[in-house]
Amino acid sequence: MTTRRHPACFMFFFMAAFLFGILSGAFRGFAADGPFLGEFRDPPREFSVMPFWFWNDDLQDREIVRQIADFEAHGVYGFVIHPRVGLPRDIGWMSPRMIHAMNVALEEAKRRRMYVVLYDEGMYPSGSASGQVVARNPGHAARGLVKVALKGDEKLPLGPGQKLVKEIRNADGSRSAIVEKPSQGIIRGLHYIGDEAGPLKEDSPPAGDILNPEAVDSFMELVYDRFAREFGSYFGSTILGIFTDEPSPLGRGGVKGMLPGNAALLPQIERILGYSIEPHLAELWDGGSADAARYREDYHRAISICLEENYYRRLSRWCADHRIALTGHPASSMDIGAERYFQIPGQDLVWRYVVPGKSALEGQHSTMAKCASSAMIHLLRRRNANELYGAYGHNLTFEEMQWLAGWGLVRGHNLLYPHAFYYSVRGPRRDERPPDVGPNSGWWDRYRPYADFCRRLCWLNTDSQHRAEVAILADANRLPDQSARVCFQNQIDFNYLEVRHLWEEARVEKDGVRLAGMVYRAVVLDGWTSLPEKALPALRQLARQGRLIFWKEPLAQLSGPQTAVASSAGQLTAALRSLVRPDLVLQPASENIRYRHVVKNGQHVYMLFNEENSPVEAKVQVSARGGRRWLDPFRGEVDGTAAGEKVLFRPYEMKLLQVSP
């Protein structure tokens, strides 16, 4: 196998910086930008933050109306109605009292020109209608596969609802069986069990089998069709969409060592993989062969796609038919495949998955923002979302809250679902997945500038053209983070390109991969052990053009004299710079700054975010030509900073550079 490694292109860097210095200084005049600045100051209300509103206590009409007025007074023009643990027993899921309260909230939102997203479960994960799916048909409870050891020639004892999928003779002569059985998984419920003054438990309704189309149909009849009957007049106006929340094929808890799936899915899995997984089922638990890791990876990828086809696709079509969006997020931060069925792709930033200085650039959760925003671009969606702040704890600070918003916005989010505003903080409610980040927080009296900041940047990231020429190849449920880190720290913006696009909508031409208005002149392969056969023709063409770069290790499927391998951050940066012209250059260089370049209403805007807790002072050079000025995203005004001089980025500060042709 022959590889070639890119040298550090020092001369290229110096020439590029010199050229961009000339370009950025040559156009000092600032043309009139029409309504751009006015709309930037006060964007439409649809770009507001839309917090989860925890309905977690006895709901009263007057209090619902009062809280909505308080939201509006603080710059919050929308909300997600989220029934939550703490409701009284007579307010059950989709009960008359719950439907009445939703109507009160919807009518008040309509009167105030505010927006609402409905939540499809009580509480989560979605797909069970608070246990009503299983109550209607016990055979629709979540199911999975387990491996059972058999002794001697004993017959397999099967319990209620269990099914033998395959009996196996192991290499040592022993016997095992693959058994399908109920997972015993649950979802979180809406009601406390016991006296609130003492130790509390929650209801735990049984999880539905969301890999089973019949169970999914039952869920949709109980929830989605009911929403249409009760609230259809608000669809497409006050109601923007329905939120589905981290659907889980097994539910929460349940049988240890169980894998999602059932015997009925085996033909669907074979169609997805192109071969039968049945002879290799035992290896999903044990590494019995050299290919066991590949079979496990293939199986989990196939289950992800089964979930897409049997659950997400059905909900997506229903929402499209009813003129609203399916929003929410899948269970994993890396589940980019499922995003194709959301009209508003989304992710979930909870449990301190990302915090300043630690996990912003590493690990699976560091990929989530680019997951949703890349899906938005490639699927030609208008918005993408993030549910953020959930379970960050009472020690969450206002400054950290703003940092987390900036972390997502500079990566392309344009709809934020803060988690959460609490209807009530009475008794144990205050400590249920805290904190309240709205009316019951210490910063509510200074919330308005933060809400306006988020609204401006969500507006900026919507109906605009993202400028990036690097793609990192992704699988349906795996997004590389190491090559992404190198790009972030060297101001090389990118999108994740899900591999299926290569044989579906994308085209490979002389200048690279063209998809949804984007042109990717360089494609990075990071961490792949094998590639789908359907992807190989496009990737081989890119390799022949010298536009394919392997991070660390090449693949035998694509080896050849054109194979480029970058084994260090410096080599990857040099390889990318040799294919993609620099769009933004900092002098001196800094690894702290993240950036995003969009074109909106004819104006180029660079979002620059200092992601670290140390100041950065640098001269900013950009490829866009025209008059330059800095904008203050908190005040909505022109910043007085001189456009051509060094700029000071305070710790965790966001700045906007506008370039007007």
Same domain, 87 and 164: no
Domain identity same for 441 and 332: yes
Same domain, 446 and 404: yes
| Nearest alpha-carbon partner for 610 in 658, 651, 562 | 651
Same domain for 497 and 377: no
Measuring CA to CA, how many Å separate 436 from each of 87, 181, 396, 417, 479?
Answer: 17, 40, 10, 13, 31
**Interacting residues of 126 by C-beta distance below 8 A, sequence separation 6+:** 120, 210, 244, 245, 246, 247, 328
Domain boundary residue, one of 553, 582, 611: 582
Return the axis-axis angle of helices 224-231 and 96-111, rounded to nearest 10°.
50
What per-residue confidence (pLDDT) applies to 196?
67
Residue 483 domain boundaries: 468-582
User: In this structure, how many other beta carbons lie within 10 angstroms of the beta carbon of residue 618?
Assistant: 18
Dist CA 604 CA 626 (whole Å) = 9
pLDDT of 4 above 80: no
Q: Which of residues 559, 582, 605 is at a domain's end? A: 582
Give domain status of residue 398, yes or no.
Answer: yes
**DSSP state, 45?**
G
Do 114 and 201 share a structural domain?
Answer: yes
Percent of the chain residues topping a pLDDT of 70: 93
Contacts of 470 (CB under 8 A, 6+ apart): 487, 492, 493, 494, 495, 520, 521, 522, 523, 524, 576, 580
- The answer on 91 and 216 residing in a single domain is yes
Alpha-carbon distances of 646 from 586, 654, 655, rounded to whole Å? 10, 15, 13
What CA–CA distance (Å, rounded) separates 110 from 125? Answer: 29
Q: Are residues 386 and 512 in the same domain?
A: no
Q: Is residue 89 part of a domain?
A: yes
Q: Quickly state the pLDDT bin for 545 (edges 50, 70, 90).
A: very high
Residues 400 and 528 in one domain: no
Strands 470-474 and 494-498: parallel
- The answer to whether position 8 is within a domain reads no
Specify if 284 maps to a domain.
Answer: no
User: What is the mean predicted confidence (pLDDT) over 225-247?
Assistant: 97
> pLDDT (tens digit, 9 = 90+) per residue, 30-78?
444 468 999 999 999 999 999 999 999 999 999 999 999 999 999 999 9
d(CA 102, CA 86) in angstroms, rounded, equals 17
pTM for the whole structure = 0.91
- What pLDDT, on the 0 to 100 scale, is given for residue 291? 83
149 and 122 assigned to the same domain: no
User: Domain total for the chain?
Assistant: 4
For residues 346 and 448, membership in a common domain is answered with yes
pLDDT of 536 > 80? The answer is: yes
Which residues is 621 bridged to in the sheet?
A: 585
Query: Is the pLDDT confidence value at 594 over 60?
Result: yes
pLDDT tens sequence across 269-279 = 999 999 999 98
Residues 217 and 244 in one domain: yes
For residue 23, tell me if it sits in a domain: no
Q: Tens digit of pLDDT for each residue in 262-271?
A: 999 999 999 9
Q: Calculate the average pLDDT of the chain.
A: 91
Per-residue confidence (pLDDT) for residue 38, from 0 to 100: 93
**What is the domain-level CATH number for residue 379?**
3.20.20.80
Query: E strands within 25-101?
Result: 52-55, 78-83
- Residues contacting residue 298 through CB under 8 Å, at least 6 positions apart: 273, 277
| pLDDT at residue 539 greater than cutoff 90 | yes
pLDDT surpasses 90 at 207: yes
CATH number at residue 623: 2.60.40.1180
Distance between CA atoms of residues 120 and 558, nearest Å: 45
Last residue of one domain, picked from the residues 558, 582, 606: 582
- Assign 564 a pLDDT band (cuts: 50, 70, 90): confident
Of 607, 610, 617, 615, the closest CA to residue 593 belongs to: 610
- pLDDT for 472 beyond 50: yes
Judge if the upstream peptide bond of residue 435 is cis by omega within 30 degrees of 0.
Answer: yes
Cα(261)–Cα(559) distance, integer angstroms: 35
Task: Tokens for 141, please give them.
Answer: 């409870």
Is residue 642 situated within a structural domain? yes
What CATH code is carried by the domain that includes residue 549?
3.40.50
Examine the pLDDT at 22 and tell me if it is beyond 80: no
- Confidence at residue 561, expressed as pLDDT on a 0 to 100 scale: 65
Assess whether pLDDT exceeds 90 at residue 529. no
Distances (CA, A) of 445 to 43, 362, 390, 437: 22, 35, 21, 12
CB 327 within 8 A of CB 117: yes
Per residue in 600-644, pLDDT tens? 999 999 999 999 999 999 999 999 999 999 999 999 999 877 767
Q: Is the pLDDT of residue 14 over 70?
A: no
Q: Which two tokens stand for residue 416?
A: 């934020």
Residue-wise pLDDT tens digits, 475-502 = 988 999 999 999 999 999 999 999 999 9
Where is pLDDT greater, at 10 or 617?
Answer: 617
Q: Is it the case that residue 137 has pLDDT exceeding 90?
A: yes
Do 250 and 321 lie in one domain? The reply is yes
The H or E element that residue 526 is part of is strand 522-526
| Closest residue by Cα to residue 488 from 480, 477, 497 | 480
Lowest-pLDDT choice from 114-128, 157-171, 232-246, 334-348: 157-171
Mean pLDDT of 7-11: 38
Sign of CA dihedral 206, 212, 217, 220: positive
Residue 330 lies in a domain: yes
Residue 35 falls within a domain, yes or no?
Answer: no
